[in-house]
Amino acid sequence: MQLSILTPNTLYVQYETSGTSNTANSFTDGETISVSTTLQSVITTVSAVVDTTATGAAAYVAEGTYYINGFHVNVSEQTLILDKYTNTPSYRVGLLVTESFVTPNDDLSLNDKHKELQCNAQCSQI
């Protein structure tokens, strides 16, 4: 029989304010946190009592166009949790680039619109 290791539910936050005075730097043990939202026209509130807090580590890449290996590459926003409960990771983090070629036969939007318009104008005059 194999035993599985249980991982406690973990909530990742970026603090704007916390504590009853809204001046604390982090949640304290025993503090109640809650969130309210509307789901299918019903207001729903979820609360939890803070058991412990820790500072984790994450890698973040903003959405944008990056110059990689001589090409401009569109990258979507990404966040990767490195360590849940410590802030001293020892990882190499980067982008995995998969190269592929797309031709105008694969994607018609790559065709030159100017030539297409020129042909349409000339062809309609004949």
Q: What's the start-to-end Cα distance of the chain, in Å?
A: 82
- State if pTM tops 0.75: no
Q: Which two tokens stand for residue 41?
A: 């026209």
Q: What is the pLDDT of residue 77?
A: 94
Which residues 6+ apart lie within 8 Å of 10 measured at CB?
84
As a whole number, mean pLDDT of residues 54-63 equals: 90
pLDDT digits (tens, 9 = 90+) for 59-79: 999 999 999 888 888 899 999
Which residues 6+ apart lie within 8 Å of 76 measured at CB?
63
Q: Which two tokens stand for residue 43?
A: 């207001």
**What band does 119 get if pLDDT is binned at 50, 70 and 90?**
low
Q: What is the pLDDT of residue 24?
A: 73
pLDDT for residue 98 is more than 80: yes
Q: Which two tokens stand for residue 111?
A: 């065709």
Report the range of poorest mean pLDDT among 54-68, 71-85, 108-122. Answer: 108-122
Query: Domain limits of the chain?
Result: 1-53
DSSP 116: H
pLDDT digits (tens, 9 = 90+) for 2-50: 555 777 778 787 777 666 667 777 777 888 888 888 888 899 888 888 8
* CA atoms within 13 Å, Cβ hemisphere of 40: 0
Q: How far, CA to CA in Å, does 92 sit from each of 11, 29, 65, 69, 76?
A: 24, 33, 21, 19, 20
